[in-house]
């Protein structure tokens, strides 16, 4: 289980797209699922896990976390490798988020062929550190999205504003002035 933590206001969409492309090249597009929980604290368990089931193309009516995990486990039984990327982990109700973290932990422990990657920030980190050794994600490997450099900015600005070409010399003062903070750079 891998956690990728981002500074507040970091646009993780760019990182998620790049990670998904690499995973599809390695595991095959049919074995890569990109899930994103509902962005509503009012989404109950059936709505939350029903949406995740649709995103994983799981058959049947799934309304509970354990049903979602069991359906994924069936796919993993045949030694099939699955790459499961979770973005927008901060979304949804706390209880559903904790259930998702627990199910992902169990799947990754039971099936070495399950490769879950979760992207998030403070709420994801809390599930790793809040309760010490009893935390849901205490065994997860943690990576932090590094601070932006001028080459990163050139690529990001190039995607958003293709007509804009800036040199490293032009971008360096921008990084210094903003402190590399994603919201200020936007």
- At 118, which helix (H) or strand (E)? strand 114-120
- The answer to whether 6 touches 179, Cβ cutoff 8 Å, is no
pLDDT at 7 over 80: no
pLDDT tens string 109-155: 899 899 998 888 877 777 777 766 666 677 777 777 767 777 777 77
The pLDDT of residue 159: 76
Q: How far is CA 179 from CA 107, 131, 159, in A?
A: 39, 32, 22
Spatial contact of 146 and 4, defined as CB atoms under 8 Å apart: no
The mean per-residue pLDDT over the stretch 78-82 comes to 81
Question: Which letter does DSSP use for residue 3 in this model?
Answer: E
Virtual torsion, Cα 98, 99, 104, 106, nearest 10 deg: 110
pLDDT per residue as tens digits for the range 92-111: 788 888 889 889 988 988 99
166 backbone dihedrals φ, ψ, rounded to 5°: -120, 140
182: which residues sit within 8 A by CB, 6+ positions away? 7, 8, 9, 10, 11, 148
- CA–CA separation, 37 and 103 (whole Å): 14
Has residue 68 got a pLDDT over 70? yes
Beta strand ranges found along 12-98 (DSSP E): 32-35, 82-86
Q: How sure is the predictor about 31, in pLDDT bands with cuts at 50, 70 and 90?
A: very high
For a pLDDT cut of 90, what percent of the chain falls above it?
25
Q: How far apart are CA 174 and CA 166, in angstroms?
A: 11
pLDDT at 32 over 90: yes
Q: What's residue 147's pLDDT?
A: 74
Please tell me the predicted confidence (pLDDT) of residue 82: 92
Dihedrals φ, ψ of 44, to 5°? -80, 175
Phi, psi of 23 (to 5 degrees): -65, -40
């Amino acid at each position: 289980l891998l956690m990728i933590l981002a500074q507040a206001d970091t646009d993780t969409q760019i990182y998620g797209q790049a990670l998904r492309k690499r995973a599809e090249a390695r595991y095959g597009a049919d074995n890569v699922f990109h899930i994103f929980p509902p962005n509503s604290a009012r989404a109950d368990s059936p709505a939350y896990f029903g949406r995740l089931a649709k995103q994983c193309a799981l058959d049947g009516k799934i309304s509970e976390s354990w049903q979602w995990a069991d359906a994924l486990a069936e796919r993993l039984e045949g030694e099939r490798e699955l790459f499961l990327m979770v973005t927008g982990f901060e979304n949804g109700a706390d209880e559903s988020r904790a259930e998702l973290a627990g199910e992902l932990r169990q799947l990754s422990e039971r099936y070495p062929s399950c490769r879950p990657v979760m992207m998030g920030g403070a709420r994801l980190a809390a599930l790793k550190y809040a309760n010490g050794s009893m935390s849901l994600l205490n065994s997860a490997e943690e990576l932090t999205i590094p601070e932006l450099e001028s080459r990163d900015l050139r690529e990001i600005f190039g995607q958003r504003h293709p007509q804009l070409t800036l040199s490293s010399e032009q971008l360096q003062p921008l990084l210094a002035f903003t402190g590399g903070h994603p919201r200020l750079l936007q």
